[in-house]
Structure 1
Amino acid sequence: LNQEQTLVGFPNTKYISSPKTRSLIKNGAVKELGKEQNINTELLLDLQPDLVIGFSLNSNNKMFTNIEKAGIPVILNGDWLEKTPLGRAEWIKFFGVLFNKEKQADSLFNHIEKEYLQAKKIALKAINKPKILSGAMYQDKWNLPAGDSYAAQFLKDANVNYPWLNSKGKGSLSLSFESVFDKAKDAQIWLSPSFFNSYKQLSESSIHYTQFDAFKSKKVYNFVNKKGETGGVLYYELAPIQPHIVLKDIIKIVHPELLKNYTPIYLEELN
């Protein structure tokens, strides 16, 4: 919506990759506020913003209460709670209302929705549905998208065989390696193996990863390789408002014959 100039402070500014906003950060127009759940409230109050937009894992957040007591209104952004890709993208309308740009926000979302639904329709033409593995180990558990989650919706709309698509839960499943290996050893494609960006990293982290067919055939893909100048992962910054691009990226990998002239924006094979 071209409202970068309204931003005066942000936590973890190194994760902002937008060239326009990075210029504002370098010029001192956007101040570093620390970490999300423990921001520098003294600096924030000195900035005297008209509004603070935050997010909270629970409603009992003393930081936001103190900001409101100082006379600065707080609105919590709940886009991350949406369980569908289009649901998250629709939050652009929330910012359209804030900046009196409802028509522009509605137009942008309508375009996103149209492109997404067209891609979903294309995916239905697939003759074969490859089996997909997702996630990776954290400590002794394998974390992967639950069946009702945001990430699983992408896989459903891409028309693939995801063994956990009918599982319950809106977040992640924490499973044993053995149960994942039993269901997905023969998966043709492995998507989003945590933050690993190379086959070398995967194999060095755990020799077990090399036992999957997708690893052996070099069919492992991730969204995290493209970064901004200060290390921000572009996928995490931009994908929530570009679900149509994410879906096309996935379709290109799992059904390459359906999008012959398309080049993925975020999803890349591991190095």
Structure 2
Amino acid sequence: MQRRSFLLASAASALAGCGDDARQTASVDEGGGVPIPLRHARYLRLERHEGFVVARLRAPVADQSGGQAQEQTAVLVLAPKDGPAPVLVGRLQDATVIRTPVTRIAANASSDEAFLGQLGVKERLAAVGGRVSYDDDVRRGVMEGRIGQIGYNWHAPPNLDVLLAVRPDVFLMRLSDLAHTPVLDRARRLGLTVAPTFAEDEPTYLGRAEWIRLHGLLTGREAEADRLFEQIEARVTALKGAASQRPPVPMVWAYPAGGDRWVVTVRGAEQAYLADAGGRNLLLRPEDARKWSSETLATEQMLPVVDQAQVWIVGDLHAAPPRGAGVERGSPAFRTGRLFANTGRSNPAANAYDWYQTAFVRPDWVLADFVKALHPDLVSEPFRFLKPVAQGTYK
């Protein structure tokens, strides 16, 4: 039910003054809430109140050029469908009300698809970004027209006509570009229930994964979400502990971008995988929340360190062969064949790559791959996202 409906319910209750209508509404303000502890997420706060949960979302969002970021915020009131309709008062009066559990969901980001898939509720998807989901069932639903296409967050603003046609209980909108903010506002004015999601903006990989707690609350799978995240966190802790007992392995994560350019992981959550797996990033840069986790370097900037790289993450969906083999000839990783790509969970025929989907939700799987690449004897399970590649292979 939309926020407008609750305000109307409030007015009806006030006119009636007593009777059934008065019993079917409940005044909601922000007092008396008990925080739901979150250990890693910085852009999500959860509070449990009597009969409802308040979710506070905030994150800096920049335009696609990486310009000056502006903080975007939202407040959600999650109220059970089988409970009274909340009447928002005080500082919660402009919050978005979502009746839970939601059963029809739209999402314009692959990561939100993955959160729902990990919770076992992917069948509730009524609309997604498009046809390149790594999940075969979701992709088939789109191709057969059972699931709408609203456009991916990285490509364009969501298609409001499709959203109005499918009428989801909630639209999980990945706000990855400030230019899309007016569309979010217009969607709300049209009566759509919109919840912006900032999981991918979290500065740590466990912070990203912890957003599954919100997805659990929305879908009625709170216990399952809590249990899964605890398993993820425990596995990450165990992997980090084992890797920390080994000498760091000098390595590089850089894929060729054509000509004499290389896209290099230098900071951020991606760099944290290298450090936590027992790697020493030879191209490490200082942490800076205003900058991307990767930078583009010229071949001559790579040459001073490549002769130390024992392991190289060289393959990527976006890779293009380098102009020459000078970098490769100087690296022991190329000579010994310790080369990897992050395209292990890929379906090229469908243009579907799980690195941009489930990897956000299952950092334990990602970290296990990096530990296996650096210290093969510490992980017995097969690679998932990473895969060994031959010299001259970049995808």
**TM > 0.5 between the two?**
yes
Q: How does 1:148-227 map to 2 (within 5 A)?
A: 149-165=268-284, 167-170=286-289, 171-195=293-317, 202=321, 205-213=323-331, 214-227=333-346
Amino acid in structure 2 at the alignment position of 1:47? V
In 2, the alpha carbon distance for the partners of 1:212 and 1:133 equals 13
CA distance 1:98–1:196, shift in 2 (3 Å): closer
Structure 1 equivalent of residue 94 of structure 2:
none
In 1, the alpha carbon distance for the partners of 2:353 and 2:271 equals 21
Query: Among residues 105, 111, 118, which one is paired with 2:238 in the alignment?
Result: 118
Does 1:32 pair with 2:149? yes
Amino acid in structure 1 at the alignment position of 2:301? S
Secondary structure at the residue paired with 1:161?
strand
Structure 1 equivalent of residue 383 of structure 2:
264
Amino acid in structure 2 at the alignment position of 1:176? A
Does 1:254 pair with 2:374? yes
Amino acid in structure 2 at the alignment position of 1:84? T
Q: What are the Cα deviations for residues 109-160 of structure 1, in whole angstroms up to 9, with x where unaligned?
A: 001100111111111121x32211112343654322233x010010110111
Please tell me whether the aligned partners of residues 137 and 177 of structure 1 are also in contact (alpha carbons under 8 angstroms).
Answer: no
Report the CA distance between 1:52 and its aligned residue. Answer: 1.2
Q: How does 1:124-143 map to 2 (within 5 A)?
A: 124-126=244-246, 128-138=247-257, 141-143=261-263
Please tell me whether the aligned partners of residues 190 and 220 of structure 1 are also in contact (alpha carbons under 8 angstroms).
Answer: yes
Structure 2 equivalent of residue 4 of structure 1:
122
What TM-score does the superposition give when structure 2 sets the normalisation length? 0.61
In 2, the alpha carbon distance for the partners of 1:20 and 1:100 equals 22
From the two aligned structures, give the one with the greater helix fraction: 1
Structure 2 equivalent of residue 16 of structure 1:
133
- How much identity, in percent, do the aligned residues show? 22
Amino acid in structure 2 at the alignment position of 1:71? G
Report the CA distance between 1:192 and its aligned residue. Answer: 4.4
CA distance 1:248–1:226, shift in 2 (3 Å): same
Does 1:65 pair with 2:182? no
Query: Among residues 25, 48, 56, which one is paired with 2:175 in the alignment?
Result: 56
Secondary structure at the residue paired with 2:262?
strand
In 2, the alpha carbon distance for the partners of 1:253 and 1:130 equals 10
In 2, the alpha carbon distance for the partners of 1:194 and 1:80 equals 19
Please tell me whether the aligned partners of residues 133 and 162 of structure 1 are also in contact (alpha carbons under 8 angstroms).
Answer: yes
Amino acid in structure 2 at the alignment position of 1:240? F
In 2, the alpha carbon distance for the partners of 1:67 and 1:223 equals 36
CA distance 1:249–1:34, shift in 2 (3 Å): same
Which is greater in Rg? 2
Higher RCO structure (Cα 8 Å, ≥6 apart): 1
What TM-score does the superposition give when structure 1 sets the normalisation length? 0.87
Report the CA distance between 1:211 and its aligned residue. Answer: 2.8
Please tell me whether the aligned partners of residues 263 and 296 of structure 2 are also in contact (alpha carbons under 8 angstroms).
Answer: yes
Secondary structure at the residue paired with 1:52?
strand
In 1, the alpha carbon distance for the partners of 2:383 and 2:152 equals 32
CA distance 1:75–1:5, shift in 2 (3 Å): same
Q: What are the Cα deviations for residues 64-114 of structure 1, in whole angstroms up to 9, with x where unaligned?
A: 222111010221111111121111111111101111221111011001100
In 2, the alpha carbon distance for the partners of 1:225 and 1:91 equals 24
Amino acid in structure 1 at the alignment position of 2:279? V
Report the CA distance between 1:23 and its aligned residue. Answer: 4.0
Report the CA distance between 1:178 and its aligned residue. Answer: 1.6
User: Structure 2: where are the runs of 5+ without partners?
Assistant: 1-118, 391-395
Report the CA distance between 1:4 and its aligned residue. Answer: 1.5
Secondary structure at the residue paired with 1:76?
strand
CA distance 1:93–1:206, shift in 2 (3 Å): farther
